[in-house]
Structure 1
Amino acid sequence: MRLAYRKANALLNQHISNISDGQTSFHIHYWGFMPNHYNNSLHRHSFFEVCYVQQGTGSYQDDDALFPLEPGTLFCSRPGIWHQIRSEQGLVLFFIAFEIDEALSSADGRKPFQELAAGGQPIAPQEAAALSARIWRTLFSLAESEAAVSRLPMNHLALALLHSFPQAFSPEPHLQAGAMKEDSGEHRHLERARRYIRDNLSSPLHMAQVALELDISPRHLSRIFQACLGQTFVHYIQERRIQQAKDWLLHTDLPIKDIAERCGFESVHYFTRVFTKQLGVSPARFRRSQFADGRQNQS
């Protein structure tokens, strides 16, 4: 077992020290995989040190505050903070010490770690720590594996681990920029309906047909369009058809009869009537005026 920890330490410390995702560039001072971590002295760093307790119990001092350590605890020593780890029985501890290379990082890339340094929690709530914990365990299992490990997946895992920290230690992780939120069922249904309408614009597109595709009732579909878009299902489809017709009139030489058919109008006469009512000009006149005012100038 100790051999596995030595191998993980050697592999990551030798090969994963400077990594970047294009926005944030990280310099990793050291990785640590320790099967028996006991007490250390009260000290501080100029960089971040994040630790994950795989097994064992103990305590962590962060300035004047003392926190219990147990399996699954993820804790962060921020730059300039006096801290100390104590354990009578010993901890199985994974840790990483790193800092941001500000010269090679964008403002957006630096911001989450600046906020972490300024006001991050010392101990991550168990639920918030879950993602980091999984990545730690995956990194260790790959590093101790007998099979050869490619640098690229290890780099990606290391980046994922580092980027998991700002949200894990955020006082309000659900409010952090970039945090994924679950869409409402209505939003998902609406997006599916809009995609279906876009892909089948030349078809009749009755409400019952689209509702069946989404496995919801026509009444529910009608409510979704009214609540989310402030317009009826029928009005939305007609609007999409007119917008598509405008685009083809402006950018193609398709005959107006073909455009009417491709946009799902039952006849060129009905198309002309709806188009003229919506825009105050017939399709033919719209095409001529747009050609004179726009397309001709682009040539």
Structure 2
Amino acid sequence: MTDIRFISPPIPHYILSGEDTYPAGGMHASRKDIGVFDLLIVDKGCLYMAEEDAAFEATPGTYLLLRPDRSHRSYRSCTEETHFYWVHLQTLGRWHEMSGTQISVNPIDDNPYVQINQFAYQLPRFGPLRQPATVYALLASLNQLSRQPYAVDRLKQQTLFQELLIQLLQETVQPAARHPQFAIAEQAAAFLRTHYRRPLSYAELSEAVHFHPNYIARCMKAVFGCTPLEYLTRYRIEQAKGQLVRTDEPVGRIAEDVGFGSFPFFVRCFAKHTGCRPREYRMRYREEAAPK
């Protein structure tokens, strides 16, 4: 089984939705390169769908996500009356298909702590619904809003679509369950974020996570694209950036507060990651915010 891995923001957005009923002998139209993801959710009967060489039997209580850049069709006619909902969605952000057992080795960004909080999540292409009634109700509400003429209804549709997306993500096996490396990397990252203000060692991190430091480092490199030390340094710098802009605290005190024991080392790290020294960074944003 494969997943679609989305990088957000921007978050995938709702375009159009509807529902169809096929009689016994009915078939889904053959289409190719339609430019949108096509989400199919069956609540009666069975859809026999193929996307190029991959075949799926979508039965009641399951969903299927078809790619926007491939051909899809029915490979077999319905054997009974079949009812299903469909949703067209798309994203302006990056996405790619990956094996359900694959762990991404690429960082989301060169600096995981950019000012816009980017994140990634994986949605299996095909799977069951644990709470189908909740999903069907959301789909019915989406379709009802399509008949309303006001702009606020379009906004409501986007909100409902995000609730639907969360439902689908909650229904699936979480990455940490399928990839132990995710769980180890997240546990290590949470420990570093919690204790970043004080000196930390690999031995202490190892004791907290209950794995060898080398293995923790490999897990974090695979998930976040950086070692624990690099993660900690970048996180500390991000905290320092916020204090430089929001407060009038001396730079040396900020360096100490975010966990840098050496002021010169803080300045070197800050310049390396931001391209300027801390005081320059502060003045840049103070000047931009100053009245003309």
Report TM bin, short chain.
0.3 to 0.5
Asked which structure has the greater RCO (Cα within 8 Å, sep 6+), the reply is 2
The structure with the largest helix share of the pair is: 1
- The TM-score normalised by the length of structure 2 is 0.44
- The TM-score normalised by the length of structure 1 is 0.43
The structure with the largest strand share of the pair is: 2
Q: Which structure has the larger Rg?
A: 1
